[in-house]
C-alpha cells in the first residue's frame, strides 16, 4: 500500500455479480475527483444482506471483480475484507487503509440512495473522520443527503438500471448477460458455474 498521500477511492459491496453499473460508477468517480486509484472492496460477509438471502461465496465474488477491473486503469479488486474474515464493516476497512497511508485521503463511494441508511452502519459516526463520502447520483433517481455535518461530494453518472437479483436469475437460467456484465465477468461466471445451482 502506498505511504505517500494517495487519493484513494473505496467502493465496497457484495458484487453478486459485479456489473457494468459498478464499473461506470468507479470509473466516473475516479475521473471526476482525480483519484489515484479506486479499490473495489469485496465484502466477506455483507451482514446487512446475508441475513436475508444466501450470498455467493466470497472467493467467487472476488474472482468476478478481478475480471471486472482487469485492464481498467486505476481500478483494483481488493480482498481486504475477505482476508480479515467475519462480518464486513466499512469502518474497519477505512481504518486499515488509513493506518497504511496516514497522509492519504480516502473517499468512500456509495450510491446516493444508500445515504439514507448510513446511520444503520456499524460505528457510523467514525466514518466522516476516516473518509470523505462520495454520493453517486443517477439522473431521475431520488437521492438522499448524508447525515448533518458529514463532508461529501456528489458525482453524477449515466443511469443504468441493472439489478444484481435479475442478473443472478438470468445466469441461473442460462440467459445472456452480454451488455449488462463485461465480457470478462461473463466468462468468469461461466467457467466457475457460479449461479447455475440457483432455482
Quick: pLDDT tens for 109-135. Answer: 998 777 778 888 999 999 999 999 999
Residue 196: count other Cβ atoms within 10 Å of its Cβ: 12
The pLDDT-based confidence of 51 (bands split at 50, 70, 90) is low
Q: Which residue has the higher pLDDT, 28 or 46?
A: 28
Quick: pLDDT tens for 155-168. Answer: 998 888 888 999 99
Give the up-direction half-sphere exposure of residue 91: CA atoms within 13 A in the CB hemisphere: 12
Q: What is the mean pLDDT of the chain?
A: 90
- What is the reported pLDDT for 2? 42
- What is the reported pLDDT for 4? 60
Measure the CA dihedral 32/39/91/104, to 10°: -70
| Reduced DSSP (H G I as helix, E B as strand, rest coil) percent helix, strand, coil of the chain, to 5 | 40, 20, 40
- Average pLDDT of the segment spanning 27-31: 97
| Domain 7-161 bears CATH identifier 3.40.50.620 | yes
Q: Which grid coordinates belong to 48?
A: 446487512
- What is the reported pLDDT for 149? 84
Q: Is the pLDDT of residue 186 over 80?
A: yes
Q: What is the pTM of this model?
A: 0.91
- What is the reported pLDDT for 17? 96
| Domain ranges (residues) in the chain | 7-161
- What is the reported pLDDT for 3? 46
Amino acid at each position: 500500500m502506498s505511504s505517500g498521500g494517495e487519493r484513494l477511492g473505496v467502493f465496497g459491496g457484495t458484487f453478486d455479480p459485479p456489473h457494468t453499473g459498478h464499473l461506470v460508477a468507479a470509473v466516473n468517480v475516479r475521473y471526476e475527483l482525480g483519484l489515484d486509484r479506486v479499490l473495489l472492496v469485496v465484502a466477506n460477509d455483507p451482514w446487512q444482506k446475508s441475513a436475508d438471502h444466501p450470498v455467493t461465496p466470497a472467493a467467487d465474488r472476488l474472482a468476478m471483480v478481478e475480471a471486472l477491473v482487469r485492464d481498467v486503469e486505476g481500478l483494483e479488486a481488493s480482498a481486504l475484507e475477505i482476508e480479515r474474515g467475519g462480518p464486513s464493516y466499512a469502518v474497519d476497512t477505512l481504518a486499515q487503509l488509513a493506518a497504511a497511508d496516514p497522509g492519504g485521503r480516502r473517499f468512500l463511494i456509495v450510491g446516493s440512495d444508500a445515504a439514507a441508511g448510513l446511520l444503520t452502519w456499524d460505528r457510523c459516526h467514525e466514518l466522516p473522520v476516516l473518509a470523505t463520502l462520495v454520493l453517486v447520483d443517477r439522473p431521475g433517481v431520488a437521492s438522499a443527503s448524508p447525515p448533518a455535518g458529514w463532508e461529501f461530494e456528489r458525482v453524477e453518472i449515466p443511469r443504468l438500471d441493472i439489478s444484481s437479483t435479475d442478473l443472478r436469475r438470468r445466469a441461473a437460467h442460462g440467459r445472456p448477460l452480454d451488455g449488462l456484465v463485461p465480457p470478462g465477468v461473463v466468462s468468469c461466471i461461466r467457467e466457475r458455474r457460479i449461479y447455475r445451482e440457483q432455482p
